[in-house]
Amino acid sequence: MENNLKKYQENIFESIKHVDEFGNEYWYARELMVALEYKRWDKFNNVIDSAMVACEKSHNFVEDHFSQVGKMVSIGSGAERKQNDYKLSRYACYLIVQNGDSRKENVALGQAYFAVQTRKQEILETEYSNLSEDEKGKGNYSLNQVAKKAGVKNFDKFHNAGYKGLYNGETADDIARRKGLRYREDILDNMGSEELIANLFRISQTEAKLKRDNIKTENDANQVHYTIGKNIREVISKNGGAMPEDLPTPEKSLKELEKEKKIKLVEINNLG
């Protein structure tokens, strides 16, 4: 999945980016529509409308992110007609992707891409590369707060629903046993990049859907988590990726690596 996200960034999303004379980046909605595998403007325009509503609800000025423009396009025999379009900010693209049909491969990849990008933007880019994988993947606290508002009381069952969807029926305990972990040892702490990204996507998309759909019952919240996990698994399979349960477990946990790193830093400082 990690390689697919890199391909998405380089070959799909960034390749259709434009930059104006002032250095401001923007995207055309018509070009994004094609990139996201939509064939009809009316269908895609409905997604744009939903994204605009989300933009307004997040207390942003819609006009700052969705600028309506018109182009003259040829319709044959020298005739032209005006075609509606939008100049979009990066944030507008994010909202459109979030409101798109995740059954479409490029929409699902886009949602994963923006999940990672959003996490990067929460901290400085220079700091992101220095974070441990554990720090990059810790999203359960935020998800727990949203799940609690959605009516979740049994958090073990809630998290297992997501794991079952992503890991073909495996619970957290099943995953821990397969990885040879000790009791209550953190599963996320014992994942490589590819597996961690899949789980970060699961966490962020579940949180977003619980909010977006205003889920209010524990059963519905569990079903959402399971479905999101299953959908991500289907995307990985469709792209020929390795299933998360087939990915190798690192020889050392991230906490162990972080501890060794701190010890080395202390030794270097003592030598200095």
- Report DSSP letters for 213-238, one per residue: TT--SHHHHHHHHHHHHHHHHHHHHH
Those residues with Cβ within 8 angstroms of residue 145's Cβ, 6 or more apart along the chain or in another chain: none
Q: Angle 28-33-34 (CA atoms, 0-180°, nearest 5)?
A: 105
124 pLDDT tier (thresholds 50, 70, 90)? very low
**Can you read off the two tokens belonging to residue 12?**
């799909």
CB atoms closer than 10 angstroms to residue 99 = 20
pLDDT in tens, 183-221: 767 888 888 878 888 888 899 899 999 999 999 999 999
pLDDT at 105 over 90: no
Ordered by start, the domain boundaries in the chain are: 1-100, 132-252
Task: Name the most confidently modeled range: 26-40, 60-74, 140-154.
Answer: 26-40
**For position 128, what pLDDT does the model report?**
40
pLDDT at 72 over 60: yes
**Can you read off the two tokens belonging to residue 62?**
């819609």
The neighbouring-strand residues paired with 81 are 73
103 pLDDT tier (thresholds 50, 70, 90)? confident
Query: Among residues of the chain, what percentage have pLDDT more than 90?
Result: 35
The neighbouring-strand residues paired with 88 are 27, 66
CB atoms closer than 10 angstroms to residue 125 = 8
Query: What is the model's pTM?
Result: 0.51
